[in-house]
Amino acid sequence: MTSKIFHSTVLVAVLVLLCSLVTVMGVLYRHFTGVQVEQLKDELSLAVTGTEQYGNAFLENVEADRFRITWIDTDGTVLFDTQADQNTMENHADREEIREALGTGFGSAVRISSTLMEQTYYEACRLYDGTVLRVSANGESAWSLMLGMLGPVILIAVLAIGISAFLARRKANKIVEPLNTLDLERPLANDTYEELFPLLRRINRQHLQIESHMRKLQRKSDEFAQITSHMQEGLVVLDKQSNIRSINAAAIGIFRTDDDCVGSSFFRLNHSNALRQALNDALDRGHGTAMLEQEGRVYRFDMSGIRSNGNLLGAVILAVDVTQAHSGEQMRREFSANVSHELKTPLQGIIGSAELLESGMVNPEDELRFVGHIRKEASRLVNLIEDIIRLSQLDEGVDMPTEQVDMLELAEDVKLLLKNDAAEKNVDIKVSGDGFSLLGVRRLLHEIVYNLCDNAIKYNVPGGTVSIHAEGNCLRVQDTGIGIPDAHKERIFERFYRVDKSHSKASGGTGLGLSIVKHASAYHKAKILLESTPGKGTTVTIRFP
């Protein structure tokens, strides 16, 4: 802007200067020409008077150093000339001023020299005898006048341009200075040119609008950050080059990264082909999914392409932890397979024994043994079906009626129920402790104590003991049996898991007892503690909250 003001000012100054010079020169030129013509006319009238009175004698003696006097006959022949020999001069009849004078009595003309630098003024008058007297003088042409003044004109022009440039710069800086110091943050607080106020008011209005938009955007962005930071699902927003634009806390946890990953490629977080393929599907076709196992957890990634007016902007990735559902699904599959297998085995035993009895191939003394086998397998089947029903009830998580249960009393009941089994195995069973009572589901608490005691007898040794101790908030079942090797301790609470399958089956085990204990304890928010040494015995403690 400063240079624009500067250039315009200098240009105006130069134009004004040029116009002034041309005008002054024109006026001067006209003035000098007028003076010269007047002088010439005066000289002519003197010369006419002299020539009419004294003829050639006047002309020969006249002092004509500044003027040239020529006397021309009526036919154009030069009769006398003060500067040349009249005999060598050509006929003047066709000269403009002569023709005019011959015709009207007076004539005048101006002729420019071939170099344009000089011009000659002619004034002619017809004498009483018809001849013509002409006076002429040389003067500078306008062109030569201009050339003559060129030096001073250039000097003045340079000076004028210099001064106007200097003044223009100062003025331009002075005009622009208040504009440069404008406070655009607070437009209305400026003390500046009045003409700027409509603009400043507009800027102020726009400021207010922008501030309000910014506040709204900030609020929305804060809300978004709040929502996404508290989400349990991982959320990642990518641009179309698959670079991370935003990532929430959950996703940072899933990929074991930090905030610095924003701006870098998503594939730096995970190189898996499944994710790459899903992202390609999302970008190309709008949606893609992938399952990924990360640090022992299973995640499902749902990816969607983001488009606006048909243009691809990027993708959004939602990562959901499906570990539970995944393992639940897997457990259900395994459970169904196990149940079918566990049901089939006793049934096959029953059918086999029944077929043998039917065929009559069994010796009468063995018949009782076969019938006993059928009864044993059938009761194992019943046990199994009962255990499955209990477990599925626990799986469904239905609310069951609770009541105050005395755990010492419960232990005594179980002892009574298992008395025969214990005696059969030559195992001594006793109950001890001050006892305690709790608000719980009697049936489930009974299952816990029964299954733990049943195992303590089943996996005991002849002459061994089982002690049930109820005190404080703990129920402890201790045996002196075969114990459980460390490698199996983690898994014995899984459904159908047995350390020794044949031992379990021989003693009528279903492989579901400890699963029921686990679920029934969880239902009461109780913790299970297992201590076992192979060859020495096992202690299971159930600690109620």
Residues forming contacts to ligand ADP in the complex (CB under 6 A) are: 451, 455-456, 458-459, 479, 481-484, 492, 497-500, 504, 509-515, 538
Nearer to ligand ADP, 321 or 494 (CB): 494
Neighbours of 318 (CB within 10 A): 18
What does the buried/exposed string (b/e) look like for 402-417 if buried means 16 or more CB atoms within 10 Å of the residue's CB?
eeebbbbebbbebbee
Q: Is there a contact between 81 and 71 (Cβ–Cβ < 8 Å)?
A: yes
Nearer to ligand ADP, 153 or 484 (CB): 484
Nearer to ligand ADP, 137 or 482 (CB): 482
Report the alpha-carbon distance of residue 307 to residue 284 in Å, rounded.
11
Strands 244-247 and 297-308: unpaired
Find residue 306's DSSP bridge partners.
314
Minimum distance from residue 333 beta carbon to ligand ADP (Å): 20
Report the alpha-carbon distance of residue 507 to residue 461 in Å, rounded.
13
Nearer to ligand ADP, 55 or 534 (CB): 534
Minimum distance from residue 473 beta carbon to ligand ADP (Å): 22
Q: Is there a contact between 517 and 448 (Cβ–Cβ < 8 Å)?
A: yes
Minimum distance from residue 475 beta carbon to ligand ADP (Å): 14
Report the alpha-carbon distance of residue 259 to residue 247 in Å, rounded.
8
Minimum distance from residue 442 beta carbon to ligand ADP (Å): 21
Minimum distance from residue 313 beta carbon to ligand ADP (Å): 56
What does the buried/exposed string (b/e) look like for 434-473 if buried means 16 or more CB atoms within 10 Å of the residue's CB?
ebbebebbeebbbbbbbbbbbbbbbbbeeebbbbbbbeee
Report the alpha-carbon distance of residue 327 to residue 298 in Å, rounded.
9
Minimum distance from residue 528 beta carbon to ligand ADP (Å): 12
Minimum distance from residue 533 beta carbon to ligand ADP (Å): 10
Report the alpha-carbon distance of residue 78 to residue 56 in Å, rounded.
12
Q: Where are the alpha helices (DSSP H) in 140-272?
A: 142-180, 197-229, 249-254
Neighbours of 494 (CB within 10 A): 17
Q: Where are the alpha helices (DSSP H) in 230-272?
A: 249-254
Nearer to ligand ADP, 69 or 526 (CB): 526
Nearer to ligand ADP, 164 or 515 (CB): 515
Cα dihedral sign, 71-73-75-77: negative
Residue 497 C-alpha from the chain's centroid: 54
Nearer to ligand ADP, 216 or 503 (CB): 503
Nearer to ligand ADP, 355 or 500 (CB): 500
Minimum distance from residue 443 beta carbon to ligand ADP (Å): 18
Nearer to ligand ADP, 70 or 451 (CB): 451
Q: Is there a contact between 101 and 124 (Cβ–Cβ < 8 Å)?
A: yes
Minimum distance from residue 358 beta carbon to ligand ADP (Å): 31
